Chains A and B, each alone.
Chain A
Amino acid sequence: MTTPETGDLRITNVTKRFGEFTAVDDLSLTVPQGAFFALLGASGCGKTTTLRMVAGLEEPTTGEIRLGDRDITRLRPYQRPVNTVFQSYALFPHLDVFENVAFGLRRRKLRQVKEQVDKMLELVQLGGFGKRKPAELSGGQQQRVALARALINHPQVLLLDEPLGALDLKLRRQMQIELKRIQTEVGITFVHVTHDQEEAMTMADTVAVMNAGKIEQLGRPAEIYEYPATAFVANFLGQSNLLAGEAAGRSGDVVQVAAYEQRFAVPAVRSRTDRGPVFLGVRPEKLALVPAGAAVPAGHQFVAGVVTDSSYVGVSTQYLVRTGWGTELAVFAPNGGDATQLAVGSQVTAHWNPHHAFLLERAPGEGDQTTPLLDSPDTVGVGS
């Protein structure tokens, strides 16, 4: 570990097939040493298979996995400087906490086991729990034992397979902060697999959104959120209102879009394409509502509609606005202190700053996509 490049995890053109099913499809990916990297996707998207191939628990059908200069594609799991925190924790039930954590050290016949284990248990705040059996611990404590058991080996890469999935929401938040702290402290590369977009965004410095065995987009969480590359990403990472339209090419710095007999303009730097079928995307919190007929801020673009639903959730009010052509847009109005609520049924204008919109490619024939207010991973396409 002399230069930063030596420990990079490089996955090159890796494909994994299970019979007819292609779980991972020609995936290439570089995780820089010391990064906190998240693989985000719905279940069945190939993220866990990717992780298991890095761990050596699955062998790629084709492709290459390198750790620094070393080709680890065909190495057995116990020969790799990689450790895993398993989704189910997989703690050894017949060993106490101390021996679980010491397991890797003992297999490698290292010295000063006791000092290292005690230090590691302190790091995960389980000092004094060494004599307990895993079954005597709570879910959160078991999770921390699993983390300690992997971390103590100082792997070049630590793999985390949905490690927080079994914890309740409050504990999960706590562990997210804890994991981030530990990663900063030990400086090991973390590759974290999760289906929870909020978890990926809060913890990782780089997120790869996976779908059907491929990476849809890779970047910093803010980059991906603010300027998604595909409709899938726009709806998987947060919510989006995607309106089906036709792009008519660039004029100056903007791309002209026609949708539902209206004209919109999207900055060229926020457009993935400038011609043909497109999605005009705006995040719900980037939309603002004014009563119909009221002035819209200069330069903003807008559509008219009727409020069909309003849910007050404290930090914001979440509205559904039905446009003239029937699509319901999601709008999050922040709670800025003025308690004016728009009643269901009122005529409104939803407007946005064009610099907050984005333009995505759309398969011909695809209709509007908006996500429901309920926090559901499924996207609901509303036909126009």
Chain B
Amino acid sequence: MTLLTGVGPRPVDAKGGGAERRDRRRALPYLLLLPGAAWLFLFFVVPTIQLGATSLYDPSGSVTAGYAMTWEFSNYPDAIEYAWPQIVRSFGYAAIATVIGIVIGYPLAYAIAQKAGRWKNVLLVCVVAPMFTSFLVRTLAWKTILSDNGWLVGFLRDIGLLGDDGRLLATPAAVILGLTYNFLPFLVLPLYASLERLDYRLLEAAGDLYASPTRTFVKVTLPLSMPGLVAGTLLFFIPAVGDYINAALLGNTNTNMVGNVVNSAFLSRQEPPQGAALSFLLMAIILVIVFTYVRRSGTDEVV
């Protein structure tokens, strides 16, 4: 838009060409935005519109015969009715995994940021290292670890935490643990970044002002690491809700998540309108949760 101010006759000033240079400088930010904006338009905006349209197609069509656009808003209530247990389960599993992730990830990020000294970089690499292999391979590896004749199940049976025919694989616990494992780095890294910036002198000051170590954590460390915690939990929670690999590989038919339903709607049951409607629903619920969460935690800068 600013580009247009350079259009049309303009009095030549004494500096000669100064205005043109100014215009070019003003255009620069838009030029920098161009590749990203084009990418997002082609591969996010266009497919989203396509998906929105699909969710309103007549569900009686078929992949071979094609679908008619009948503005079928009833696809949404139908999809909810069909998949509400999986929707509830998705948010439940993701929430539990997020809580476990915080319990594991916060102390980890804190230790790396504040106490690791020269081991800091090594530990960070360890956090990120699992991501060097593919998501699918990692989850398959978990399948081996949790398998009925694996060492873990054997050990848990030996110490009596699992019954003699108790198992881990194909249970909700396996799916939740898989989610926790796979998304943990996304929680730890932003947390690390904000804890790393935490000035230890503020902790000294809190101690000097009669705050015990626990009170110091609650009143100083935690609030100051809130942006990292919010960003980290969102980066953890959002992909976890939509995930279907963990449920497919580590769970059973009763641990299916909404992602599995979307997957089957498109690929096996041939019901694209239902899959599209579920995708849109998921997106809407997540947006609502994110906005409420961010508002309430008072870290508006994340969104």
Contact = CB atoms under 8 A, between A and B. Distances in A.
Interface of A: 55-57, 76-78, 82-84, 86, 88, 90-94, 103-104, 107-108, 149-150, 153
| The 3 residue pairs across chains A and B that have the minimum distance between CB atoms | A90-B205, A104-B209, A107-B210
Interface stretch (B19-27, B35-43, B150-158, B196-204): B196-204
Given A94-B223, A94-B224, A107-B215, A88 B208 contact: no
Contacts of A103: 206, 209, 211, 219
Contacts of B223: 94
A108 B202 contact: no
B209 A149 contact: yes
B210 A104 contact: yes
B220 interface: yes
A83 B208 contact: yes
Contacts of B208: 55-57, 77-78, 82-84, 150
B223 to A, nearest CB: 5
Q: Is the interface of B mostly helix, strand, loop or mixed?
A: helix
Contacts of B202: 90, 92-93
B239 interface: no
A94 B199 CA distance: 13
A279 B222 CA distance: 59
A76 B203 CA distance: 13
Contacts of A150: 208-209
Interface of B: 199, 201-202, 204-212, 215, 219-220, 223-224
A73 B220 CA distance: 26
Contacts of B205: 84, 86, 90-92
Contact of B207 (A77, A92, A93, A108): A77
Nearest to B207: A77
B302 to A, nearest CB: 15
B300 to A, nearest CB: 13
Given A78-B212, A92-B220, A86 B207 contact: no
Given A78-B207, A78-B210, A150-B208, 6 more contacts: A57-B207, A57-B208, A92-B202, A93-B202, A94-B223, A104-B209
Contact of B204 (A77, A82, A93, A104): A77
Contact of A86 (B204, B215, B219, B220): B204
Given A94-B224, A107-B215, A88 B201 contact: yes
A65 to B, nearest CB: 15
A212 B145 CA distance: 60
Nearest to A77: B207
A108 B205 CA distance: 15
Nearest to B201: A90
A56 B210 CA distance: 12
20 contacts: A57-B204, A76-B207, A77-B204, A78-B207, A78-B208, A78-B209, A78-B212, A82-B208, A84-B205, A84-B208, A91-B205, A92-B206, A93-B202, A94-B220, A94-B223, A104-B209, A149-B209, A150-B209, A153-B209, A153-B210
A107 to B, nearest CB: 4
A39 B207 CA distance: 23
Contacts of B204: 57, 77, 86, 90
Contacts of A104: 209-210
A56 B204 CA distance: 10
B260 to A, nearest CB: 42
Nearest to A104: B209
A294 to B, nearest CB: 60
A93 B224 contact: yes
Nearest to B224: A94
Nearest to A101: B209
